[in-house]
Chains A and B, each alone.
Chain A
Amino acid sequence: MPEVVSVTVDGRNLAAKAGESVLGLLRRSGIWIPTLCFDPRVTPYGGCRLCVVSRRDREGELVPACETPVVEGMVLETDSPAVQRARRRQLVLLLGEHRLDCPVCPASGRCTLELLLHRLGVAGDDVRRWDARATSGVRSPLIVHQPDRCVLCTLCIRLCHEVQGVSALGLQRVGEDTLVSTFASRVLDCEYCGQCVAACPTGALQLRPPLEPVPRRLGTGQITTCSLCPCGCQLQPAVRDGRVVAVESQVSWLPNRGQLCAKGRFAHDVLVSPERLTSPLVRQEGRLVPTSWERALQAVVEGVRQAQAQGRALVAFGTPRLTCEDAFLLQHFMRVTVGSPHVGVGLAAGARALVEGLRPVLGTARSTADFADLAAADLVLVLRADPSRTHPLVKSVVLAGRRRRGQQVVMAHALSGGLERHVDEFLPVRPLGEEALIYGVCRHLLTESATRARQAAGVAGFDQWQAGVLQYTDEVVQGLTGIDPARLAALARRLGRARRVVVVLPAGMGIPGDEAAVARAAAALLVLLGSHRVPGGGLLILGEKANLQGCLDVGLHPRLLPGGDSAGEPGWEPVHAMARAGAGEVGFLYLVGHDPLGGWPRATHRRDGLEGAAFVVVQDAFLTKTTRAANVVLPVSILAEREGTVVGADGVRRQLRAAVAPPAGVAPDGAIFRELARRLGMPLPSEKEVDKALYEVFEAHLEARGRRPAPTLVPPPPPPPPRTWRGMLLDVSPQLLHSGSVTRYSAVLRGLAPIVAVRLAPEDVAAFGLTPGGRAHLTTGTGEEMMVVRVDRTVRPSSAVVLWQSNAEGLGAFLAVDGEARLVDVRRSR
């Protein structure tokens, strides 16, 4: 219970929490205090000195409210003449170095400095201007920086450093020459989260036209949920003339507290991409031709009836980006209307980890930890990939935990991302080595603590599991992971000491390793540590697409029914389904938001399956490679055009609200399912019935929290023989600016991160004799590709980062099976 202290503010007695800042108390009490450099997300700075208040108990001393902690008996005046005078004088002084071009400044109307001048009534006569500071500052393709408008509040620097962990910006020089700058004045090379621009209280940092944000007063759209990844960030598109022109977010909105990644902030231009489909297409004489919705839907219905008549299978894959409502409708459409069990989320990263990894051990296909657990954990263990690249919000939660609570963070994976430099320990395991690492740790925990072994002995399946774990000796683990026994033992000790442990498993196409196997191992580790059912502990599986969790919850999976029950007659898994299709057993293949030809590995029989299926329907917003094999293509609405709910990786269900109308000729997924079902003579449940069904599903999950079923330990596989990894590791896991298919249609993101580039560490670029911007030949043994060379200082030497793209312009398509890591030869292209 925090100690309460009594403080007198403007004659009123207020109760404050000991240790909180005066500013926090005043704002909670509804007292307006001007600030330029304060943001609750970052360390108070006390630079602008506008939040000064007078301490009557110390002879009227002026103290900055943001960095002064409350103490018992403090007597404050927040609006005395001395306080007002100091604030006005400070504003006048700031104007001395601020470029006064407000009438033409794009920030006018949302500029805090301007607002304060009006509110505090500063007279213009007082202002004396002197020579402006440097007029050119940070260089960036995205941002215009004008230091002579900067008030050096350092919000941009602190957000970049503390929230993003990027530290791309810093102060340079001293005194009157002080300015915000990048390292060595290089072109800004960062995560392009846009936080610096959003937080800038003046017009010093602006987006470069045409990305220029509109003043707040010119209207905004609905508050909605970003559906590009499962973090569940809340955002508000600013809409003008029916189009999204900017995206904003507020500090008070959870879970992202105003933070957005580059995708969330800038990818809205995909809505107006010229590559969007705006009319259904039907194949006629071998060619796809635009047609009416009436004809297109009728063709689909005929395709269904023909398959049924022929007794051939009907298969549907829905993207995990579907809303819960649409996913429910799709599985209902297939299972009830069409009468086929072969429905699922397709090849969606994270699905196997949840269903085949977590469910057998902990009895649920839901992450057992959420963002609150992540924030409250004593130790966070990150495996498989770096959330900096895959799930930026998770990275920020981890950074905040470290900064505020001294949370320990350990990472173990084979790729690079940038979070390594913020963690307590980074274990660069060999590709595919995470599973062995965890079992090696488990063996240490079992053999070094009899108490722990005794406690775990009561768990179902313990004996077989223990027998399997004991095979992971230090030598075996070192052979598979490259981690020496001393570090392994130290990791086990570190984990053993922590009371609450959260294991984070990012998922994404191209991340090496079997996600289900690693999830099983991680779940067993948590059981052994006793962290699987305590608040602040658990397993957090981060799916790649926005609503993977929601889709599984509502039964969009061949093995699961709505609510998580096992399907009586399991449907076909995606790879199996494509193989059956290749064998001519599938009469109707319905691909909702999937592009197997562009984005699935070769070994998934994607090409044979598409060629073998009698009737293929592709439902997507863009013309993908798979549409080549489609009989019918149905255009759909995406992102901020949609209504419904999505469930984030943290298990929280959030609302999607349509901020803009979709283009003419485009329909929502759900409406298409409904219309098809109606035409097939078996209408889908009404919206009200769907809401009721979903309510029951998610209410059951809420109730289930805290009384999860008893765990069952699944024996680990025998250790595989060690593999030699020498050479360049091909890294095709998600990149920060491109995680899947949609972002490739954003001109802004393509400008920031070209999709046909290989990213290499500077050392490797020099070693291979490459030139930045030049071409390199990449060969994997199963394929080769010519790519543009980019230098990336976050890439680990001896690895080549290439985008897994849905239209196979990258080397990702040459990988043989899901999760396999591969070496690549890099040479200069002549």
Chain B
Amino acid sequence: MSGGGPPSTADWPAGAAYEEDLALLSEGDAAIVDELVEDSRGAPGALGAILGRLNESLGFVSPPIQEALARRLAVPSVIVQQVVSFDPDLSSHPPSGPAVRLCGGAACLLPHGLGVHRAAGAEASVLPCLGACWGAPIAEEGSSRYEELTPLAARELGAGKSASPVRRHRPPLRGAPASLWRQEDLQRVRQHVGERVARRAQAAVDLGVRELLVCNGSGCSVRAADRVAEVISRSLAERGADLSLRVVRVGCRGGDLGMVTVAASPTGWRVRGVDEARAAALVAELCRDRSFTPSEAVWPGDDGAAASGVLRRCGVVDPCSLEEYVASGGFRSLERVVGAGGGLARSLARVEASGLSLRDEEGQPLGRALVAASAVGVSTVLCPCVSSEGHLVADSLLLGGDPFAVIEGVILTGLLCGARQGVVMPPSGALHLVEQVELAVALARRRGLLGPSILGGGLSFEMTVVPLPRRLVAIDESALRRCVLGEGTLTPAPRAVADGLPPALVIDPESAARLGAVLGMPEDDPGKARLLAGLRLVTLVGHLATPAVVEVPAATTLEGLLQVSAVPAPGIAAPVKGALSGGLLGVFQRWGREERVASRGSVLLLGESTCVVALLASLLSTLVREACGACAPGRTGVRALHEAFAAMAEGRLGGGSLAAVEETAAHLRATARCELGRGAGRLVASALGAFRAEIEAHLVDGRCPTGHCRRMVAG
């Protein structure tokens, strides 16, 4: 104790006195909080869901609102704050005018994203992903989007000169994250969905009505699908055909990238690459005899054969119509499992034998997981739409385009392993997905597909929808379960503690959709079921002409993958497998013999001119931002690697440091808590294996072989 006397508060710094603020809630805001809490009383995961809705209603969740919510839900206010500051889709401050928002997604970082970010300056904020990989690197300002930015263009954009540098400028995406939606857009979409449901319900009684389905997926939307739909509607109305031929917006099915797709219901006939002019021509042709038939499938672009497998209904049926789902073979497998005597055991054996895999790191067989889960008594099936970016795209595609398939798969999973509760977890930021899934769950419940006796078979299953913070991509199952319980603890709980939580089985949307498809196959056709079991959804992003979502058999090589997806790949130097959490592979020629696309969900491709060191610095900078901060390796190790590669690109790192980098990468792979940290270790370790010469050139010779790192000698 300093000094001779007793301690006295007079010694304390003047600024350290109590501060008491009386920031009270306005009556209007309090009413909104009350209403949301009342609506969700008792619902699991109430905290996350309520925060998402508050953010949507008010634009942000201010500290007084957080505190009021905490009080009403009886959770500590710091926990609410923790969730808000954890979830990139939530904000505690009002949005401050039109500012430049940069995409921090992998596809945007790959070409020269880091340069774009630096050039845009400190005023620009970086969001995890703006969801428009095809135009990478992208930025947004207000409702405007700027695609294929160069650092020069980004600098001008950051300086407020937004007119000249844009290469493209398009309205906001349909299906983009909530942060991009303006309130009036949201209202419009909601109204649209509501009207659509009502309309199609009417159509169900009016069997004479045919429909033209215009893709509502993000890829088509950015290419003016809404204007195409408008033109078709107007043209039909002008010709008086709108009573028998309706225009409906449906979810994306993937694979038809770069073009607006229009399909006919219920035939599955489709036309790709429709623009406004072609839309009018299409209507003119259709209206010649005021009807159309499957024989008209001579139109170019028909690819009905591809409409099989997991994506077979996406873009073909209305995701809001349970009737269409059933008409297209939906819930057949559920009927089979629930209806037949001994159906559960037989179905379990069938899944086990099918080779159906969960889409995780090891591609663990789903059948075996189900058998193990039924043995230990699982109470809940969690279906989170989480993983790396590529997975997120694929999962969103299914939840938005074919939600009943996911719901059916979760019900089946639960019945097979004895669980009676399912939780579907769409990303909280994608409100259109949340609403889509909630609607689908409500429809399924109304039709007796959920509840105390599914299809009257005496088996019960309930389902809830819990929006999931995007950052939970990197967090383990315990955190998911806590999130479902509404405890709001987003930091991962250790395994030992997880014992206190209800046991759960985690299945991703893709696997859930496949489970339904496999069990829906005739039992006398095991070969087809096995083929379907082996299918994978793969997202291709990066230096491609277009991004793509394709289905490929599990053992397809990367080279084969390019052929399947018909992606032009000139001068590709390296793919990053499994987005940021995968490894960096060697040159194109080695793909075929070295790697298979085994249970991974995305591939990034790089041009030959990409500097591996700069690339790693970019990728690691994303991971540094995405790390949850809970485990020391994930926080400090990823940052150490990022600092090392950033320094390397600027010639600030000596040759002797490579050993430390290698050791850190190995350390991360061995000790990090979640896939983010381990993936970062794998990324660097694989790069050091495949591109060691290029990295050493930076370190030892002080030169960048690609000429990308400007502070170094080129060549």
Question: Which one of B235-243, B279-287, B444-452, B636-644 is at the interface?
Answer: B636-644
> By the criterion CB–CB under 8 Å, are B2 and A176 in contact?
no
- Name B400-454 residues within 8 Å CB distance of A: none
Among the listed B7, B77, B624, which residue makes an inter-chain contact with A269, where contact means beta carbons less than 8 Å apart? B7
> By the criterion CB–CB under 8 Å, are B24 and A171 in contact?
no
With A167-B78, A170-B78 already in contact, the answer to whether A210 and B20 are too (CB < 8 A) is no
Task: Please name all residues of chain A whose beta carbon is closer than 8 Å to the beta carbon of B19 when the two chains form the complex.
Answer: 186-187
Task: Please name all residues of chain B whose beta carbon is closer than 8 Å to the beta carbon of A211 when the two chains form the complex.
Answer: 1, 7
Which residue of chain B has its CB nearest to the CB of A66? Answer: B494
Question: Which one of A8-16, A284-292, A483-491, A743-751 is at the interface?
Answer: A743-751
> By the criterion CB–CB under 8 Å, are B496 and A173 in contact?
no
Task: Please name all residues of chain A whose beta carbon is closer than 8 Å to the beta carbon of B664 when the two chains form the complex.
Answer: 89, 93
> By the criterion CB–CB under 8 Å, are A175 and B67 in contact?
no
Among the listed B11, B17, B629, which residue makes an inter-chain contact with A171, where contact means beta carbons less than 8 Å apart? B629
- B506 CB, min distance to chain A CBs, angstroms: 19
B26 interfacial by beta-carbon distance below 8 Å = no
Proximity bits, A658-680, B CB within 8 Å = 1, else 0: 00000000000000000000000
With A152-B629, A178-B629 already in contact, the answer to whether A791 and B22 are too (CB < 8 A) is yes
Task: Please name all residues of chain B whose beta carbon is closer than 8 Å to the beta carbon of A766 when the two chains form the complex.
Answer: 22, 24
The majority secondary structure among interface residues of chain A is: mixed
- Name B614-639 residues within 8 Å CB distance of A: 624-633, 635-637, 639
> By the criterion CB–CB under 8 Å, are B495 and A763 in contact?
no
- Name A122-176 residues within 8 Å CB distance of B: 126, 128, 130, 139-141, 151-152, 154, 161, 167-176
With A67-B496, A171-B82 already in contact, the answer to whether A140 and B631 are too (CB < 8 A) is no
Among the listed B17, B86, B629, B637, which residue makes an inter-chain contact with A141, where contact means beta carbons less than 8 Å apart? B17
Task: Please name all residues of chain B whose beta carbon is closer than 8 Å to the beta carbon of A43 when the two chains form the complex.
Answer: 493-494, 497
> By the criterion CB–CB under 8 Å, are B632 and A184 in contact?
no
The majority secondary structure among interface residues of chain B is: helix
Number of A-B contacts (CB under 8 A): 216
Question: Which one of A44-52, A361-369, A429-437, A649-657 is at the interface?
Answer: A44-52
Proximity bits, A33-70, B CB within 8 Å = 1, else 0: 00000000001111111101000000001101011110
CA distance A66 to B497 in the complex (A): 11
Task: Please name all residues of chain B whose beta carbon is closer than 8 Å to the beta carbon of A269 when the two chains form the complex.
Answer: 6-7
A458 interfacial by beta-carbon distance below 8 Å = no
Among the listed A82, A90, A141, which residue makes an inter-chain contact with B18, where contact means beta carbons less than 8 Å apart? A141
CA distance A61 to B632 in the complex (A): 18
Select the residue from A86, A189, A274 with max chain B CB neighbours within 10 A: A86
> By the criterion CB–CB under 8 Å, are B494 and A96 in contact?
no
CA distance A209 to B13 in the complex (A): 10
Which residue of chain A has its CB nearest to the CB of B76? Answer: A167
- A23 CB, min distance to chain B CBs, angstroms: 10
> By the criterion CB–CB under 8 Å, are B494 and A86 in contact?
no
- Name A733-775 residues within 8 Å CB distance of B: 747-748, 750-751, 762-763, 765-766, 772-773
A370 interfacial by beta-carbon distance below 8 Å = no
- A729 CB, min distance to chain B CBs, angstroms: 20
CA distance A89 to B681 in the complex (A): 14
Task: Please name all residues of chain B whose beta carbon is closer than 8 Å to the beta carbon of A50 when the two chains form the complex.
Answer: 632
Task: Please name all residues of chain B whose beta carbon is closer than 8 Å to the beta carbon of A177 when the two chains form the complex.
Answer: 629
Task: Please name all residues of chain B whose beta carbon is closer than 8 Å to the beta carbon of A161 when the two chains form the complex.
Answer: 76
- A221 CB, min distance to chain B CBs, angstroms: 14
Task: Please name all residues of chain A whose beta carbon is closer than 8 Å to the beta carbon of B667 when the two chains form the complex.
Answer: 85-86, 89-90, 93
- A339 CB, min distance to chain B CBs, angstroms: 43
B491 interfacial by beta-carbon distance below 8 Å = yes
B307 interfacial by beta-carbon distance below 8 Å = no
- Name A229-287 residues within 8 Å CB distance of B: 240, 243, 245, 269, 272-274
- Name A85-132 residues within 8 Å CB distance of B: 85-86, 89-90, 93-94, 96-97, 126, 128, 130
- A186 CB, min distance to chain B CBs, angstroms: 7
> By the criterion CB–CB under 8 Å, are A174 and B673 in contact?
no
CA distance A154 to B499 in the complex (A): 21
With A175-B629, A176-B635 already in contact, the answer to whether A747 and B6 are too (CB < 8 A) is yes
Task: Please name all residues of chain B whose beta carbon is closer than 8 Å to the beta carbon of A209 when the two chains form the complex.
Answer: 2, 11
Proximity bits, B658-669, A CB within 8 Å = 1, else 0: 001001100100
Which residue of chain A has its CB nearest to the CB of B670? Answer: A62
Task: Please name all residues of chain A whose beta carbon is closer than 8 Å to the beta carbon of B340 when the two chains form the complex.
Answer: none
B609 interfacial by beta-carbon distance below 8 Å = no
- A423 CB, min distance to chain B CBs, angstroms: 10
CA distance A172 to B630 in the complex (A): 11
Among the listed B9, B66, B635, B640, which residue makes an inter-chain contact with A747, where contact means beta carbons less than 8 Å apart? B9
- Name A179-221 residues within 8 Å CB distance of B: 181-184, 186-187, 189, 208-212
Task: Please name all residues of chain A whose beta carbon is closer than 8 Å to the beta carbon of B690 when the two chains form the complex.
Answer: none
CA distance A763 to B8 in the complex (A): 32
B85 interfacial by beta-carbon distance below 8 Å = yes
A790 interfacial by beta-carbon distance below 8 Å = yes
> By the criterion CB–CB under 8 Å, are B22 and A772 in contact?
yes
Among the listed B67, B491, B629, B640, which residue makes an inter-chain contact with A93, where contact means beta carbons less than 8 Å apart? B640
CA distance A77 to B212 in the complex (A): 66
Task: Please name all residues of chain B whose beta carbon is closer than 8 Å to the beta carbon of A461 when the two chains form the complex.
Answer: none
> By the criterion CB–CB under 8 Å, are B624 and A175 in contact?
yes
A19 interfacial by beta-carbon distance below 8 Å = yes
> By the criterion CB–CB under 8 Å, are A69 and B495 in contact?
yes
- B473 CB, min distance to chain A CBs, angstroms: 12
CA distance A750 to B20 in the complex (A): 17
B712 interfacial by beta-carbon distance below 8 Å = no
A454 interfacial by beta-carbon distance below 8 Å = no
- B666 CB, min distance to chain A CBs, angstroms: 8
Among the listed A69, A151, A152, A272, which residue makes an inter-chain contact with B496, where contact means beta carbons less than 8 Å apart? A69
> By the criterion CB–CB under 8 Å, are A67 and B9 in contact?
no
> By the criterion CB–CB under 8 Å, are B627 and A174 in contact?
yes
Task: Please name all residues of chain B whose beta carbon is closer than 8 Å to the beta carbon of A272 when the two chains form the complex.
Answer: 5-6
Task: Please name all residues of chain B whose beta carbon is closer than 8 Å to the beta carbon of A779 when the two chains form the complex.
Answer: none
Task: Please name all residues of chain A whose beta carbon is closer than 8 Å to the beta carbon of B81 when the two chains form the complex.
Answer: 170, 172, 181, 183-184
Task: Please name all residues of chain B whose beta carbon is closer than 8 Å to the beta carbon of A773 when the two chains form the complex.
Answer: 18, 20
B299 interfacial by beta-carbon distance below 8 Å = no
- B595 CB, min distance to chain A CBs, angstroms: 22
> By the criterion CB–CB under 8 Å, are A68 and B496 in contact?
yes
Among the listed A90, A170, A208, which residue makes an inter-chain contact with B12, where contact means beta carbons less than 8 Å apart? A208
B3 interfacial by beta-carbon distance below 8 Å = yes
B471 interfacial by beta-carbon distance below 8 Å = yes
- Name B673-707 residues within 8 Å CB distance of A: 673
CA distance A114 to B664 in the complex (A): 21
> By the criterion CB–CB under 8 Å, are A67 and B671 in contact?
no
B21 interfacial by beta-carbon distance below 8 Å = yes
> By the criterion CB–CB under 8 Å, are A52 and B671 in contact?
yes
Task: Please name all residues of chain B whose beta carbon is closer than 8 Å to the beta carbon of A82 when the two chains form the complex.
Answer: 670
Task: Please name all residues of chain A whose beta carbon is closer than 8 Å to the beta carbon of B67 when the two chains form the complex.
Answer: 183-184
B459 interfacial by beta-carbon distance below 8 Å = no
B115 interfacial by beta-carbon distance below 8 Å = no
Task: Please name all residues of chain A whose beta carbon is closer than 8 Å to the beta carbon of B11 when the two chains form the complex.
Answer: 209-210
CA distance A90 to B663 in the complex (A): 11
Task: Please name all residues of chain A whose beta carbon is closer than 8 Å to the beta carbon of B670 when the two chains form the complex.
Answer: 52, 61-62, 82, 86
- A142 CB, min distance to chain B CBs, angstroms: 8
> By the criterion CB–CB under 8 Å, are A21 and B496 in contact?
yes
With A184-B81, A751-B12, A772-B20 already in contact, the answer to whether A210 and B496 are too (CB < 8 A) is no
A28 interfacial by beta-carbon distance below 8 Å = no
A-B contact pairs, 10 of them (CB 8 A): A45-B630, A48-B632, A62-B670, A67-B497, A86-B667, A93-B667, A94-B632, A130-B643, A174-B628, A186-B21
Besides A128-B657, A140-B16, 15 new A-B residue pairs in contact (Cβ under 8 A), listed by A number: A49-B671, A89-B664, A90-B671, A130-B640, A141-B16, A151-B632, A170-B78, A175-B628, A176-B639, A189-B18, A273-B6, A747-B6, A747-B8, A773-B18, A773-B20
Interface residues, chain B, with chain A CB atoms under 8 Å away: 1-3, 5-9, 11-13, 16-22, 24, 63, 66-67, 74, 76-79, 81-82, 85-86, 471, 491-497, 499, 624-633, 635-637, 639-640, 643-644, 657, 660, 663-664, 667, 670-673
Q: 7 closest Cβ contacts across the A-B interface?
A: A751-B9, A178-B629, A170-B78, A67-B494, A167-B76, A772-B20, A93-B636
